[in-house]
Structure 1
């Protein structure tokens, strides 16, 4: 076997994107979604992980940027690996963290340049507003929170069913 220089080895490994999202509910189990100004659909609060940033730190940063509050980023609930799609040329790994149960609107201060709105929705209503590939994360996050065990999805599907 031939030894490969680390710089060459790493340069030839596949690259992917990473994103971190917050799963936040109210006391009635409604799921918090945000409506970004730059998308046609709603999403969980969150965004891309920056270079050298841990996913849980990215989640906390995005909560503060999008909601104007500091919330504890707790357990990892869902990891979802998705292949390249549409305009996105690389795979993405999405980390969804439990960020707790908060009172309705909990003093949120949304930045008008980034978000049009935020609201709590029953899980089925949340699923209707999310992109198709993100919908399975709602039920997976709810299950993971109850069972206190993270769920791994592959392209939005439970890997056990693939």
Structure 2
């Protein structure tokens, strides 16, 4: 049985959609990870946010770092791509892109966006894992491995819950 072909606008409208976000990994001279504490949720995170319509993930990362930290950067390598299926309040899959931001030598250069963030702190890699929520914590060891091995890590599937 032949199905009629859809016109391009109808065909594109029929495709599934995915949410996307981008974050940046910064470390300091002691190889500690920069985390930020949003004022609108209880857990810490890496600097970053949701990709806007028509925006590339690396552009989102640059924009979010400028907004949240007051830093003008060029992101480095793509360290981690984390794909998470729909869950909880989120009805669609999420693709997160984690980029290397390099080293920040002076936390005093950071200007926190007061509307969204209440704190920024460098912490040990293990402490960063402990402070992140279960659905994002696996990105930290993956980013460390990606930096060490010089290759992007892909994290498919369902993350640890709890």
Q: 2:109 is paired with a residue of what secondary structure?
A: coil
**TM-score, length of structure 1 as denominator length:** 0.92
Quote the residue 1:37 is aligned against.
Answer: 39
Q: 2:24 is paired with a residue of what secondary structure?
A: strand
Quote the residue 2:118 is aligned against.
Answer: 116
Quote the residue 2:101 is aligned against.
Answer: 99
Quote the residue 1:51 is aligned against.
Answer: 53
Cα contact 2:85–2:158 (8 A) shared by 1: no
Using the TM superposition, give the Cα deviation of residue 106 of structure 1 relative to its aligned residue in structure 2, in angstroms: 4.8
Extract unaligned runs of 5+ from structure 1. Answer: 158-162
Residue 154 of structure 1 pairs with residue 156 of structure 2:
yes
Quote the residue 2:139 is aligned against.
Answer: 137
Q: 1:79 is paired with a residue of what secondary structure?
A: strand
Using the TM superposition, give the Cα deviation of residue 104 of structure 1 relative to its aligned residue in structure 2, in angstroms: 4.2
Q: 1:156 to 1:25 in 2, by over 3 A?
A: farther
Extract unaligned runs of 5+ from structure 2. Answer: none
Structure 1 Cα separation of the partners of residues 78 and 69 of structure 2: 20
Q: 1:34 to 1:107 in 2, by over 3 A?
A: same
Structure 1 Cα separation of the partners of residues 157 and 127 of structure 2: 21
Cα contact 1:35–1:42 (8 A) shared by 2: yes
Structure 2 Cα separation of the partners of residues 121 and 64 of structure 1: 21
Residue 69 of structure 1 pairs with residue 71 of structure 2:
yes
User: Runs of 4 or more off by more than 4 Å in structure 1?
Assistant: none
Structure 2 Cα separation of the partners of residues 67 and 155 of structure 1: 31
Count of matched residue pairs: 157
Which of 127, 130, 140 lines up with 1:128 in the alignment?
Answer: 130
Structure 2 Cα separation of the partners of residues 156 and 101 of structure 1: 30
Q: CA RMSD in A?
A: 1.3
Using the TM superposition, give the Cα deviation of residue 155 of structure 1 relative to its aligned residue in structure 2, in angstroms: 3.5
Cα contact 2:33–2:128 (8 A) shared by 1: yes
Cα contact 1:136–1:156 (8 A) shared by 2: no
